[in-house]
Copies of this chain bind each other. A is one copy, B any other.
């Protein structure tokens, strides 16, 4: 799996701070810009997050390039509706010799792993045979498995990322999308430390809302 942060709003913390100050000030934008102090911006972002005043965070957006995830995972991802997606098409792109993901729970068992791989090879062969017999990729794709690799670009704003990370970095999320979400969080934390300081599952900063379904192991160690 490869997760790359392709683009993001320049100096997102300044933009968020500017938007937030605009709401509560009589000053005009130029004067507010002068007043948004790079030194203090971290403290100000903290304050906004503590107050739950998250709408200004929508002005900062983040575009990721993601490769080597399964269709199982992309199907979960695209259910988040406040986001933009461009995904490699199985309708237009021929996927001879497609790559695929084996879940760890399967690959750890040598015998199951071999059967899994043989099945995938069988599907690869069948897919090619279908294409060679004039079947279009859009129809041959009916044999492609959930584990088949895909690639995509996704853009979300910071507020939606908070929501996404809270659901998908949780131990109760499916393992592959959690792995992807953890990498996305790592990437944005690398460049924008303040905004995402406490992003992640709810147990990072408070109690678990999952009740009886809780994993019981708060992931407070998440970086």
Contact = CB atoms under 8 A, between A and B. Distances in A.
B6 A7 contact: no
A164 to B, nearest CB: 14
Interface in A94-112: 94-95, 100-103, 105-106, 109, 112
Contacts of A93: 24-26
Given A86-B55, A86-B56, A89-B23, A143 B135 contact: no
Given A22-B151, A24-B89, A86-B59, A101 B142 contact: yes
A37 interface: no
Do most interface residues of chain A lie in helix, strand or loop, or is the interface mixed? mixed
A29 interface: yes
Nearest to A4: B29
Contacts of A84: 55, 58-59, 157
Contacts of A7: 9-11, 15, 59
Interface string A133-147: 101101101111111
B25 A88 contact: yes
A220 interface: no
Nearest to A126: B119
Interface string A42-72: 0000000011100110110101010100111
B116 A143 contact: yes
Interface string A191-211: 000000000000000000111
Contact of A122 (B82, B119, B147): B119
A142 B147 contact: yes
A139 B67 CA distance: 19
A217 interface: no
Interface string A66-80: 010011100100110
A28 interface: yes
15 contacts: A2-B29, A6-B15, A6-B29, A7-B9, A18-B65, A25-B88, A28-B151, A84-B157, A100-B142, A105-B139, A106-B139, A112-B133, A115-B126, A119-B126, A142-B147
